[in-house]
Amino acid sequence: MKMKLWVRYFVYMFLIFVVVFSGQHVFQGIAKIRENSFNPQYFYTSAMTIIFYGSIGLILGLEHLICEIKKEGTWKLNLSKIVLMGLPSLYFSLAYVTFSLNIEFLRNIIIYPIITLMVSYSGFLSVFPLILGYAIITSFYKHNEKLGV
C-alpha cells in the first residue's frame, strides 16, 4: 500500500514537471513572437497561462477525482465552489486579455483589481489559473442517497 502512494505521488510530480517544462517551451515561443512582431500577444499569453497553470491545478486535484470515481452515487457539481472560487479565478486568469481591451468603462471599473496586481509585478496573477483548475476538478463529487453523502 505504501509503495502505491509513493508511485502515485511520483506520477503526479512527473506530470507537473512535464506541464512546467512544456509550458516554459511554449512561453519562450510566445516571447520570441512578441519580440519579432512587437505584438504583446495578450490572447495567447492568457490562453497558455490558463492551459498550463490550470493543468497543474487539475493535477493537484486529481486525487480528489480519483477518490470520487471509486464511490457509488450520482455525479454532482459543487456550484458554490465554481461560483465563489472558479469565476473570480477565471476573471483574474483572463487579466491580459481584459487589460488589452481599450474600453474606458472596463479599464476604470472592472479591470481596476487586475491593474493593481499587474502594476505590482508580484506574480500573483499566475496563481489564479492554478486555483481555477483545482476548483474545477474538485467541484465534481458523487452523491449517495443511501449514505446521505
Domain membership flag for residue 26: yes
Domain membership flag for residue 60: yes
Domain membership flag for residue 89: yes
Q: How many domains does the chain have?
A: 1
Given a cut of 80, whether residue 105 has pLDDT beyond it is no
Q: Give the pLDDT band (50/70/90) at residue 148.
A: low
Domain membership flag for residue 149: no
Range in 1-15, 78-92, 102-116 the model is least confident about: 102-116
Domain membership flag for residue 64: yes
C-alpha cell at 148: 446521505
Domain membership flag for residue 148: no
CA distances from 45 to 8, 32, 68, 104 (A): 31, 12, 33, 22
| Contact between residue 73 and residue 145 where contact means Cβ atoms under 8 Å apart | yes
Structural domain including 45 reads 2-143
pLDDT tens digits, 44-94: 888 999 999 999 999 999 999 999 999 999 999 999 999 999 999 998 888
